[in-house]
Structure 1
Amino acid sequence: MRVAIAGAGAVGRSIAHELLESNHQVMLIERDREHFEPQTVEQAEWVHADACELASLEEAGIELCDVVIAATGDDKVNLVVSLLAKTEFAVRRVVARVNDPRNEWLFTEAWGVDVAVSTPRMLAAMVEEAVTVGDLVRLMTLRQGQANLVEVTLPEQTPLAGRTIESLDLPRNAALVTVLRGGRVIVPQGDDPLEAGDELLFVATDDVEADIRSALGF
């Protein structure tokens, strides 16, 4: 997979390293000379250009990329990059970094964004997930609010212990996708029994999260 990353600051470089380790092709686009440091990610292709300029993106060959990641520290820049990538170059997947949670409402398909990643919100969710047992925690919003990834850890005295997954009366727009048990990742099957301490990961729409709580007895 070929991925273009707009913004070669600490975040952009970290993403590049992760993608390169997974054997993807990475192009870093950076307009600031201070952040243009090819020696820091030598396996990546580096382009010194303004990712908000149509000509620069065209010269970089952005249309050949499978994914564009707008990872700068400026939300305005990330929105412009996303819009150009999607509307002018028909990039299949556009991921955008949200720096200020107050701007989340802008990061939608109207601006060419397929996935918006809010670092402050994700960190808050991780903290909440780490200390919360027996309630739903929203970890991530998927597809511009169409669904969420939510997590619940079953308490030690859960009445669900021993019950099978198929016995849960889950709402229609919710799916149990993974059960984390100790160091194991379990793909749930209908006849699998639940245990105290299980972490259940659901994909669900906003309107059925209360129904999930009811199905789990919370």
Structure 2
Amino acid sequence: MRVAIAGAGAVGRSIATELLVNGHEVLLIDKDPRSIRPELVPEAEWLLADACELSSLEEAQMERFDVAIAATGDDKANLVTSLLAKTEFGVPRTVGRVNHPDNEWLFTEAWGVDVNVSTPRIMSALVEEAVSVGELVRLFTFRQGGANLVEITLASDSPYVGTPVGLIPWPENTALVTVLRDGQVYPPDDEQAIEAGDELLFVSAAETERELERLLSPDQED
């Protein structure tokens, strides 16, 4: 897979490194000469250019990429880059970094963003996930599918402690993805009983999240 990353700062370089380890081709683009440091990620291609300029993306041959990631520290730049990549070059998948939570509503398909990644939201979700038991925590939103990745740590007083997965009446439009227990990852198994302290990960439609939470934590109040 070919991936273009606008923004060669710490975030962009970290993404590039992970993608390269996984066998993908990566181009890093940045308009600041100080950020062009090929020695830090030597396996990547590098381009000194402004990803908000159409001519720069033409020079990068953006049409040959499968994914464009707008990872700069400027939300306006990330929106413009995503829009150009999608509308002018037909990049199949775009990912936009949200730096300020007040701007998250802009990072939609209308601006050419297929997936937005909000650092503040992710950090908040991770904090909630670490301290919450019996409460549903939204970790990630799939923009195109209209569903969310959610997590709940099973409380000891949940009525389904000790119940096999296959006997639990999950809400519609909800799928159990995995069970995390004692540092191990267990794929869903209809005969496997869930236990107190298990972390359950689901893909769920937004409208069924509350029903899922009430199912596993019936003492929750509206």
TM over 0.5: yes
Deviations 1:178-203 (CA, angstroms, capped at 9, x unpaired): 11111221111222211111110011
Say which is worse superposed, 42-51 or 206-215, in terms of deviation: 206-215
Corresponding position of 1:50? 50
Cα separation, 1, equivalents of 2:90 and 2:41: 27
Gaps of 5+ in 1: none
Counterpart code for 1:146: G
Counterpart amino acid of 2:85? A
C-alpha distance in structure 2 between counterparts of 1:48 and 1:32, whole Å: 7
1:1-218 aligned within 5 A: 1-143=1-143, 146-218=146-218
CA distance in 2, matches of 1:46, 1:17: 13
Summarize deviations over 1:63-95 as a string: whole Å, max 9, x none: 111111000000000000000111111111100
SS of the equivalent of 1:200 reads strand
Contact 2:180-2:198 within 8 A present in 1 as well: yes
How many residue pairs get aligned? The number is 218
Q: Distance in 2 between the 1:23 and 1:145 partners? A: 27
Identify which range, 5-14 or 181-190, moves more after superposition. Answer: 181-190
Report the 3-state secondary structure (helix = DSSP H, G, I; strand = E; otherwise coil) of the residue aligned with 1:90: coil
Deviation by residue 1:127-170 (Cα, 9 ceiling, x = unmatched): 11001111101111111681111100112343322201122222
Contact 1:27–1:46 (Cα < 8 Å) also in 2: yes
Query: Structure 1 CA distance, aligned partners of 2:146 and 2:159?
Result: 31
User: What TM-score does the superposition give when structure 1 sets the normalisation length?
Assistant: 0.96
Compute the displacement of 1:209 (Å).
1.0
Quick one: which amino acid aligns to residue 99 of structure 1? N
Letter of the structure 2 residue corresponding to residue 54 of structure 1: L
In structure 1, distance between residues paired with 2:167 and 2:217: 13
Corresponding residue SS for 1:76: helix
SS in 1 for 2:50: coil
CA distance in 1, matches of 2:163, 2:27: 49
Deviation for aligned residue 1:25: 0.8
Identity %: 62
Query: CA separation in 1, counterparts of 2:95 and 2:76?
Result: 14
Mapped to 1, the partners of 2:182 and 2:159 lie a distance apart of: 19
How large is the RMSD of aligned CA atoms in angstroms? Answer: 1.3
Deviation, structure 1 residue 214 = 2.1
Greater than 6 Å deviation, 4+ residue runs? none
